[in-house]
Structure 1
Amino acid sequence: MSVQHSKASLHAFYAEALRNGRSTGEKLCAPVPARFLALLASLPADTPRRALDLGYGAGAYTIALAEAGFTVVAVDQAPAEPLLHRLLARKDLAERVTVVESLIEKYAVQEDFGLLVAKDVLHYLSQQDVERLLTGAVRSSRSVNLHYLEIFTAISRTDAHDGQIHIEGEARYTPDTLGRALERIYDGWDVSVRWDDHTEQDTRSGRSYFEATRATVVASRRFPAPVGTAAMSGRETA
């Protein structure tokens, strides 16, 4: 049996978790991993210091970007209050951050961001919205840019009775369909993809309720853009 959850119920779940500081399966309140900080430190010196964080959640990546010297536009339908509260204690960073409380798929990228981050959020959008959003960012690219994406594919969600759960309008990418989409979107960019098996378990019962293959995508563009199609890496496992 398959059950579909509405986007409204999904929004309510995350809004409640963020307002109460409650952890979720994807660990919204976890610190930014060292490999992302290393990526920030390795960016070319001529990368524009303006970043877009799609799906700010509790704000960990937004704050890390501001700490790295970026002016940040942070976009999410999640309530802005938890992130704004965190920024109150960091007035040196707050002036660098603009928070936009909006559906991500309704946000039109119309400027040249040196860095775009979208972690664990794009799978909730439709494939059409994902590709329209990222294609808009590519078209707005005018200089040295880098896109860092973490996207779940081949998702299996189950309830306590092993029924399948789907989210209204979600992308439902497989590794193959996502790979082909990345080739279309990032034509002329250098693209690497790392694939990891991901599982989330109920802490009380130990039951696995979420399984997926997560793609960690790093797409970089040099100016002027090289001619040719994006180079895709092979499959890697953690």
Structure 2
Amino acid sequence: MNQPVTRASVYAFYTDALQRGRNTAENLQAATSERFNTLLESITEATPRTALDLGYGAGTYTIALARAGFDVVAVDQIPCDPLLRRLDGAGDWAHRIEPRQCLAEDFTIDENFGVLVAKDVLHYLARPSVEALLTSAVAHARGENYHYLEVFTAITRRSADGQLLRIEGEASYSPESFRRRIQRIYQGWDLTLLWSKHAEQDSRTGLNCFEAIRATVIAANQAA
């Protein structure tokens, strides 16, 4: 049986890593992906200049959106201090960012965001929370909207001594179960769903401590 990892310990791990500016096996400090960059460059003025970044982490995607002219609500459970330090003395775009310390599943989506980003966060949530968040975002979408999601499915975690681990309450999607839910939630949207294998190594042992199939979702609502 998988050994449970508490959500409190996950929170403590990420809070410490981001407060100290440390990178991790998952590369928290990585630049925005080429897929996201291509999407951002393709967005026209017809898209509302508002954005939501759920689980912003180090703030890289939040900053990219703000620099592109979006007013960004940046939501994460960790304290806002690390992001605010990155913004200190930054350009005129920094005023477009509104950080909020909040669990992603507790954030209420009740307005139209032109762009929604959720990278490497939704798999930590319970399935009903994932689906409620995305359903609400779709329900409030008006005009040309874009959602960019990166979600891990088929996850295997191991401790340094090889024990299987799981995080309490996480979605635990298989690729097929995630595909079905995304297709149902985004009915009527132009939907691109891409898959790639992902692995992270334990720096102490050199062995894989995390393996998964990463789903990249690019959903476009181009209704007038």
Fold shared, TM-score > 0.5 on shorter chain: yes
Letter of the 1:78 counterpart: I
More divergent stretch after superposition (198-207 vs 52-61) = 198-207
Aligned-residue offset at 1:91 = 4.5
Deviates more, 1:205-214 or 1:158-167: 158-167
How much does 1:97 deviate?
0.6
Q: 2 CA distance for matches of 1:203 and 1:171?
A: 26
- 2:95 paired residue number: 95
8 Å Cα contact 1:112-1:143 kept in structure 2: no
| Runs of 5+ consecutive residues of structure 2 not aligned to the other structure | none
Q: Write the distance in 2 (CA, Å) between the matches of 1:183 and 1:38.
A: 22
8 A Cα contact 2:77 2:104, kept in partner: yes
Q: Distance in 1 between matches of 2:53 and 2:25?
A: 20
Residues 91-142 of structure 1: per-residue CA shift (max 9 Å, x gap): 4122101101000000011111110000000000001000000000000111
Superposed CA deviations along residues 164-219 of structure 1, whole A, max 9, x for unmatched, are: 10001000000000001001111111111110000001234210010000000001
Aligned equivalents of 1:185 and 1:151: distance in 2?
A: 15
- 1:167-186 equivalences in 2 (<5 Å): 167-186=167-186
Q: Deviations over 1:49-83 (max 9, x none)?
A: 11000011010000000011111000010121000
Q: How does 1:43-62 map to 2 (within 5 A)?
A: 43-62=43-62
Whole-Å Cα distance in 2 between the matches of residues 57 and 144 of structure 1?
A: 26
Aligned to 2:209: 209
Partner SS for 2:212: strand
- CA drift of 1:89 comes to 2.1
**Once superposed, what is the RMSD of the aligned Cα atoms?**
1.1
The aligned counterpart of 2:21 is 21
Check whether the contact 2:160–2:202 (CA below 8 A) recurs between aligned residues: no
- Report if the CA contact (8 A) 1:200-1:210 is conserved: yes
User: How far, CA to CA, are the matches of 1:21 and 1:213 in structure 2?
Assistant: 27
Contact 1:51 1:72 in 2 (8 A): yes
Q: Secondary structure at the match of 2:187?
A: coil
**TM-score under structure 1 length normalisation:** 0.91
Q: Which runs of 4+ in 1 moved over 6 A?
A: none
2:196 aligns to what?
Answer: 196
Q: Which one-letter code corresponds to 1:119 in the other structure? A: K
TM-score normalised by L of structure 2: 0.97
Map of 1:132 onto structure 2? 132
Distance 2:5 2:89 in 1: 36
Matched to 1:188, the amino acid is G
Q: Distance in 2 between matches of 1:73 and 1:91?
A: 18
Q: Which moved more, 1:41-50 or 1:115-124?
A: 41-50
Q: Aligned equivalents of 2:161 and 2:203: distance in 1?
A: 17
Q: 2: distance between equivalents of 1:34 and 1:190?
A: 19
Q: Which deviates more from structure 2 when the two are superposed, residues 211-220 or residues 27-36?
A: 27-36
Higher mean alpha-carbon deviation, 56-65 vs 26-35, is at 26-35
Q: Aligned residue for 1:164?
A: 164
Aligned residues: 224
Letter in 2 for 1:65: L
Is residue 220 from structure 1 mapped to residue 220 from structure 2 by the alignment?
A: yes
Aligned residue for 1:146? 146
State the Cα distance separating 1:223 from its structure 2 match. 1.6
Asked whether 1:118 is paired with 2:118, we answer: yes
| Paired AA for residue 38 in structure 1 | T
Structure 2: distance between partners of 1:8 and 1:202:
21
Distance in 2 of aligned mates of 1:91 and 1:99: 17
Task: Find the aligned partners of 2:46 and 2:2 in 1 and give their Cα distance.
Answer: 49
Inter-partner Cα distance in structure 1 for 2:108 and 2:139? 11
CA distance in 2, matches of 1:218, 1:195: 12
Give the residue type in structure 2 aligned to 1:210: F
CA separation in 1, counterparts of 2:79 and 2:152? 23
Secondary structure of the residue aligned to 1:206 is: coil
Long gaps (5+) in structure 1: 225-238
